[in-house]
């Protein structure tokens, strides 16, 4: 048994077969991410075990930068009358969370930047563009085609907008690539 694995049975006799299954599932986690610090598994049965009682399982896995805790305490999940099914379901959930953690560490998960926020500072309607004042004092250029749903005609100076910055600056400075008016005057009609 790996030194980082601890298995505890409560209100139930220890089972070498269940321990073997837990060790097997723990080794699978180690093959996926080899820097496991600790893994504590608690298998618990209700006080006086009767046929039809469900097993409660908790796995507490620690890896650098993350602690993953999964409990399987499903009151109506009758498949958990079988201890092996309960162990499988719990370790499957741990593996999914560990996979997500590894993807984030590698940078495989995209993070979505929040759209910037500002107010329309000026509009040159006859020339099809305007400027947005941001909260940090930057003035951002936008063209009528960047306004969502053809809403350029409805914009007024002072309207609040959310916007995404274009990758490259325009000749007029920072440029918004997508502008969405916000506020009660710009809500989409309900259908």
pLDDT at 91: 92
Question: pLDDT, tens digit, for every residue of 59-92?
Answer: 999 998 888 888 876 555 555 578 888 899 889 9
Question: pLDDT, tens digit, for every residue of 133-171?
Answer: 887 677 888 999 999 888 898 899 999 999 887 766 666
Domain ranges of the chain: 5-106, 116-184
Q: 5-106: what CATH class?
A: alpha beta
pLDDT at 23: 94
Pick the CATH number of 116-184 from 2.40.50.140, 2.60.40.1180, 1.10.1060.10, 3.40.640.10: 2.40.50.140
Longest Cα–Cα distance of the chain, Å, equals: 82
Name the residue among 151, 129, 152, 148 with its Cα closest to residue 140: 129
Q: Count CA within 13 A, CB hemisphere, residue 53.
A: 13
pLDDT at 76: 53
Task: Report phi then psi at 158, rounded to 5.
Answer: 100, -15
Structure-token match 């890896």, residue found: 63
Question: pLDDT, tens digit, for every residue of 90-140?
Answer: 899 899 889 888 887 777 655 556 678 899 999 998 989 999 988 767 788
Q: Is the pLDDT of residue 37 over 70?
A: yes
Identical fold, 5-106 and 116-184:
no
Q: What angle do CA 39, 78, 55 make, to 5 degrees?
A: 35
């Amino acid at each position: 048994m790996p030194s980082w694995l601890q298995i505890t049975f409560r209100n139930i006799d220890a089972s070498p077969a269940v321990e073997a299954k837990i060790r097997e599932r723990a080794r699978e986690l180690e093959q996926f991410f080899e820097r496991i610090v600790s893994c504590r598994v608690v298998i618990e049965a209700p006080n006086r075990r009767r046929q039809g009682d469900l097993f409660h399982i908790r796995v507490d896995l620690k890896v650098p930068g993350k602690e993953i805790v999964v409990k399987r305490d499903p009151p109506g999940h009758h498949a958990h009358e079988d201890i092996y099914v309960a162990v499988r379901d719990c370790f499957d959930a741990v593996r999914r969370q560990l996979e997500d953690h590894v993807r984030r560490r590698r940078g495989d998960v995209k993070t979505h930047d929040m759209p910037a926020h500002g107010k329309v500072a000026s509009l040159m309607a006859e020339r099809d563009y305007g400027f947005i004042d941001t909260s940090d004092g930057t003035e951002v250029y936008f063209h009528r085609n960047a306004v969502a749903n053809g809403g350029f005609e409805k914009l007024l100076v002072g309207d609040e907008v959310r916007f995404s910055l274009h990758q490259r600056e325009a000749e007029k400075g920072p440029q918004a690539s997508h502008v969405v008016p916000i506020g009660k005057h710009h809500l989409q009609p309900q259908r």
